[in-house]
Structure 1
Amino acid sequence: MLEATKNPQSAQEPSADAVPINPALAVEARIARIAVTVFPLLVLIAGVAGYLFPGALKPLSPSVPYLLGTIMFCMGLTLTPPDFASVAKRPWAVVLGIVAHYLIMPGAGWLIAGALNLAPELAVGLILVGCAPSGTASNVMAFLAKGDVALSVAVASVSTLIAPVVTPLLVLFLAGSYLQIDAGGMVLDIVKTVLLPVIAGLLARFFLKKLVARVLPALPWASAVVISLIVAIVVAGSAGKIAAAGGIVFLAVVLHNGFGLGLGYLAGKLGRLDDKARRALAFEVGMQNSGLAATLATAHFSPLTALPSAVFSVWHNVSGAIVAAWLARRPLRDA
């Protein structure tokens, strides 16, 4: 997924009470549409490569945490103070998005795993995807859907920053009956592969402004290539079992993502948010940091446990792009 493609927005129409605009948005907006179109194809090609050439890619599995760290560093590079200012400006909307994300997706993953009677490794993998923070490609989808990009960025950022605490606790609570869960180890892994790289990116953005400004246009593509490599490695690790489990995993992922998109929009409606905010929450709830889920699954369980994350990486970008295109053609209800 464009797991580190942050903030594609400058085409958003300004309003009297608009939040400050992240300068990275104008740069990334120009390439966001191309990246979102091409990226699912890159991930799909990577998945096929992992399935066909597992011997060449499986030995690279120890590099997955470092690859994810690279993606999260890129995410940190795109964050600016205005992104966090939007949290203070509209705390209710951000809190609603965070609560909806960490209730709907973990709960849906647990329910679907039980309803489909998934094998323990696959059930834990699906639940783990649901407990991950928001996928940052959700910001691109919110932009394309004419949603509230500032809210999307705020929810994605906060959900990522609190993931070291929330994700392991949710996995322990929901998946502990399937497999032994090392929650403490997960906390440490998320801090090392997510939190510290994001903070490093923020610091680099602050101290190396001119250099970062030069590399911003390349960040979406760098993220696309890296996450595609992660998918290829993860698929290679479970290539021998994909033929048997691939169909049921795909069904589970489609249902999981669909519930997230639909219930995310409904949460915004129940919270009395405007239509732009509802569109943003649909993607913030329905799209996950599947790269993190794959990393944790590989490190703490087995390659098969990472299979739902790999499938989710492909599918939620395809479904997100389709839903975003459909919403973009529908007038904003509040307008």
Structure 2
Amino acid sequence: MLAVDRPLCHDVRMSALTTIGLPVALGIIMFGLGLSLTPADFARVGKHPKAVLVALACQLVLLPALCFGLVVLFRLPPILAVGMVLLAASPGGTTANLYSHLFRGDVALNVTLTAINSIVALFTLPLLTNLAISIFLPESEGLGIQFNKAVEVFLIVLVPVLLGMLVRRLWPRFADRMNTPVRIGSMIILAIVIVGALVANRDLFFPNLGALAGITVLFCALSLTIGFFVPRLFRVEPRQAVASAFEIGIHNATLAIVIAQTVIGSVEMSLPAAIYGVLMFFVALAFGFLIRGRVPVTKDAPAATA
């Protein structure tokens, strides 16, 4: 039995560390993503249309359907069910690029998919989240992502990316030098914020850890599997299938946490993303070693080391 059995709780601790720190950390992460993007990354869709379209279909159609099925199967409380759908609707992040590089994926395709998914999610994420709220929390008036809140998501996600791309356009050498420090800095800030939020709400987080671990691990494993084998069914080459797997299987948990806590205003709704964000690293690593034998080694695809 999960520890969350109420539609919403207003006595959880939403400190400045969470309400300010989380959006700032996400903004820095998205700015770092922009530092690595150029217009050519979007134009690459024309070179690999099948790989991009299949990956997007998995991300936008199969994963939400899978997530809805899992929350019903696991009988999650309504607020956590919505949190799972919010996680499923979140795009991939820069972590997917790292895993793709380690396991011989097409990192350039990862960058393209991340760029496109980040824009598409601005529209699909509110739609899917509101659909989940209407199904699981039909009596919660005012809960959801309305137009003004969707604008907040736009500002948090897209504006930092555009600023990062502008910096790269104007000062490419500076962007190259700052790429790694920005990523490290954002991870440090994010870690501090998340740990602080977990400690402040430990009475809510830890009682639900065991119950949510199963569904988040299964969701991650199935997402990675779908992301790899569905493209292979459509004869997408192995390296692109690896890129698709990690892009689809590694969701931007930080974005889901920020939207749940600061846009919607529910710490409970962020629990699935918080737990997923920790366990995902181990599931993705195990999956990478399982599929590495299916990917041929090429000069520009480094082999993963044990």
Question: The TM-score by the shorter chain falls in which range?
Answer: 0.7 to 0.9
Q: 5+ residue gaps in structure 1?
A: 1-53
- Which residue in 2 is equivalent to 1:196? 159
Native 8 Å contact 2:106 2:242 kept in 1: yes
Native 8 Å contact 1:205 1:212 kept in 2: yes
- Which residue in 2 is equivalent to 1:33? none
- Which residue in 2 is equivalent to 1:158? 116
**How far 1:290 moved relative to its partner?**
0.6
For residues 107-142 of structure 1, the C-alpha deviation after alignment (integer angstroms, 9 at most, x for no partner) is 222211111111111111111100111122111111
When structure 1 is superposed on structure 2, of 127-136 and 241-250 the one drifting more is 241-250
Asked if 1:238 is matched to 2:195, the reply is no
Q: CA RMSD in A?
A: 2.2
- Which residue in 1 is equivalent to 2:24? 66
Native 8 Å contact 1:125 1:308 kept in 2: yes
Count of residue pairs the alignment pairs up? 280
Which residue of 272, 281, 285 corresponds with 1:308? 272
2:280 maps to amino acid: H
- Which residue in 1 is equivalent to 2:68? 110
- Which residue in 1 is equivalent to 2:37? 79
**How far 1:320 moved relative to its partner?**
1.5
Q: 1:263 to 1:90 in 2, by over 3 A?
A: same
Native 8 Å contact 1:234 1:303 kept in 2: no
When structure 1 is superposed on structure 2, of 147-156 and 125-134 the one drifting more is 147-156
Which residue of 113, 136, 147 corresponds with 1:178? 136
Native 8 Å contact 2:260 2:266 kept in 1: yes
For residues 170-221 of structure 1, the C-alpha deviation after alignment (integer angstroms, 9 at most, x for no partner) is 1122332223323424421220110111111111111122322222232332
1:306 maps to amino acid: S
Q: Distance between the aligned counterparts of 2:174 and 2:48, measured in 1?
A: 32
Q: Distance between the aligned counterparts of 2:208 and 2:54, measured in 1?
A: 35
2:48 maps to amino acid: R
**How far 1:58 moved relative to its partner?**
4.2
**How far 1:280 moved relative to its partner?**
1.3
Which residue of 90, 104, 110 corresponds with 1:146? 104
- Mapping for residues 213-228 of structure 1, pairs under 5 Å: 213-228=176-191
Native 8 Å contact 2:254 2:273 kept in 1: yes
Q: 1:271 to 1:289 in 2, by over 3 A?
A: same
Give the 3-state SS of the residue equivalent to 1:246 in structure 2: helix
For residues 238-293 of structure 1, the C-alpha deviation after alignment (integer angstroms, 9 at most, x for no partner) is 32122321111111110110110111112111221011111111111111011110
- Which residue in 2 is equivalent to 1:265? 228
When structure 1 is superposed on structure 2, of 288-297 and 270-279 the one drifting more is 270-279
2:55 maps to amino acid: G
**How far 1:233 moved relative to its partner?**
4.0
When structure 1 is superposed on structure 2, of 291-300 and 266-275 the one drifting more is 266-275
Native 8 Å contact 2:238 2:294 kept in 1: no
Native 8 Å contact 2:17 2:193 kept in 1: no
Asked if 1:321 is matched to 2:285, the reply is yes
Q: Distance between the aligned counterparts of 2:184 and 2:105, measured in 1?
A: 23
1:73 maps to amino acid: F
- Which residue in 2 is equivalent to 1:250? 213
When structure 1 is superposed on structure 2, of 253-262 and 146-155 the one drifting more is 146-155
**Identity of aligned pairs, percent?**
26
Q: 1:97 to 1:203 in 2, by over 3 A?
A: same
- Which residue in 2 is equivalent to 1:3? none
**How far 1:237 moved relative to its partner?**
5.0
1:295 maps to amino acid: V
Q: Distance between the aligned counterparts of 1:321 and 1:219, measured in 2?
A: 24
For residues 287-319 of structure 1, the C-alpha deviation after alignment (integer angstroms, 9 at most, x for no partner) is 101111000110204111111111111111222
Q: 1:278 to 1:213 in 2, by over 3 A?
A: closer
Q: 4+ runs of 1 displaced by more than 4 Å?
A: none
1:70 maps to amino acid: I
**TM-score, normalising length from structure 2?**
0.85
Asked if 1:212 is matched to 2:169, the reply is no
